[in-house]
Amino acid sequence: MKVLFLTLLCTLLPAVAGAAPIEVSDARGEVIRLQEPARRIVALAPHIVENVYSAGAGDKLVAAVSYSDYPPEAAELPQVGSYKLVNYETVLALKPDLVLAWSSGNGPEVARQLERLGLTVYVDELRSLEDIVDEVRTFGLLAGTSEVANRRGDQWLARLRELKQQYRGAAPVSVFYQVWNDPLQTLNGEHLVSDVIRLCGGRNAFADAVSLAPKVNIESVLARNPDAIVASGMGEQRPEWLGDWLEYPALAAVREKNLFFVPPDIIQRHTMRILDGAEMLCEQLQRVRVL
């Protein structure tokens, strides 16, 4: 019996010794360590949920937040509140081995509180197109689905390179990106949407704004006189308030009929679908150039 035990021990030790912990750094610069791939994941933002599915790890999600509606099966996940208001008790009761949080959306206190409760938390903050594929690959590493995540990442990067090549050297177009009408709100040069605008050869008219999502006034838009106005809104339909700009015929965007719409889910969400929105925006800005 003793010999059998020693034989089994010697057989198992190499496998145990070779199972190195998983280590990644998050947006805070914190090192996240897992002894084994995560099996129970809670995601605290809709874009994070989508990126987990893109990484091939959707079956490891045990909860999400409201508005996590893509892919369709994500809508069936139990909810732990919204990205702005997380229910800590519900999260804790699910016994996740990994929580994925959003820095600017959830706020820094959410991650700190979850860590005080003894949970492992990875925090993201995506500001560039390349950040998206990096996140998908990181989630694949954390969930043990790297083969799927890396393959999809490679395919996505190939598509991104094609778009960059297509619009490299395109004549610049000044763009006012309108998130909402009341209050009038846009995004600055640090936001991911600005990276999409740059990809298309555009220039964000409010790239120099201090805050990430500044509120502006009509006078400032008139002063910057953008070549195009691109609205997002709340859904798949062009918002009615985009037509309000017709009251300002002196604006170049109005005069040349360059009032465009891109559904927010494919341009404001930090996911692989953003290239669908990028293709739409690039085609719109190209129409500005040929007029």
14 has a pLDDT exceeding 90: no
What backbone phi and psi angles, to 5 degrees, belong to 52?
-65, -45
Do 192 and 204 contact (CB within 8 A), yes or no?
no
3 has a pLDDT exceeding 50: no
Q: What percent of the chain has pLDDT over 90?
A: 91
d(CA 252, CA 245): 11
Domains of the chain: 18-154 (3.40.50.1980), 170-290 (3.40.50.1980)
Categorize the per-residue pLDDT at 1 as very low, low, confident or very high, splitting at 50, 70 and 90: very low
Categorize the per-residue pLDDT at 234 as very low, low, confident or very high, splitting at 50, 70 and 90: confident
173 has a pLDDT exceeding 50: yes
Query: DSSP H helical segments within the chain, as ranges?
Result: 2-18, 46-54, 88-93, 103-106, 108-116, 129-143, 146-167, 192-199, 218-224, 252-255, 274-290
d(CA 139, CA 43): 11
81 has a pLDDT exceeding 70: yes
pLDDT digits (tens, 9 = 90+) for 15-61: 444 568 999 999 999 999 999 999 999 999 999 999 999 999 999 99
Of 282, 248, 81, the residue nearest 166 (C-alpha): 282
pLDDT digits (tens, 9 = 90+) for 273-282: 999 999 999 9
pLDDT digits (tens, 9 = 90+) for 244-260: 999 999 999 999 999 99
State the pLDDT at residue 20: 82
Do 104 and 47 contact (CB within 8 A), yes or no?
no
This prediction's pTM = 0.90
Omega within 30 of 0 (cis) for the link into 71? yes
